[in-house]
């Protein structure tokens, strides 16, 4: 039952976010959230997963994804003329 609510929340959220941020950015945020969730699961060994601490490389990778979304959002909001 909880999984059903989670799926419903995801569908409603992505339906709301995608038109506002762009489909590519919405998908990138979903992937970033999945990576962050997997890092937390690994950190605490949840669901029987082997416990692996979050290291700097994982944090940097997630930060790069978030920065990529911010840059894409900025570029979409401030288009420039490529043909000068």
- Please state, for a pLDDT cut of 90, what percent of the chain lies above it: 17
Structural domain span for residue 37: 2-77
Q: Where are the alpha helices (DSSP H) in 22-78?
A: 23-44, 56-77
Any domain includes 82 = no
| Residue 83 pLDDT | 53
| Residue 45 pLDDT | 92
| Residue 70 pLDDT | 82
Low-confidence ranges of the chain (pLDDT < 70): 81-84
> Structurally, how many domains does the chain consist of?
1
Any domain includes 56 = yes
| Residue 82 pLDDT | 55
pTM higher than 0.75 = no
2-to-16, 30, 84 alpha-carbon distances in Å:
21, 19, 54
């Amino acid at each position: 039952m909880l999984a059903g609510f989670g799926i419903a929340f995801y569908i409603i959220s992505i339906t709301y976010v995608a038109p506002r941020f762009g489909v590519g950015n919405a998908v990138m945020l979903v992937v970033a959230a999945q990576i962050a969730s997997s890092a937390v699961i690994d950190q605490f060994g949840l669901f029987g997963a082997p416990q692996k601490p979050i290291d700097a490389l994982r944090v940097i990778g997630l930060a790069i994804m978030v920065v990529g979304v911010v840059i894409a959002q900025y570029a979409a909001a401030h288009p420039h003329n490529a043909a000068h």
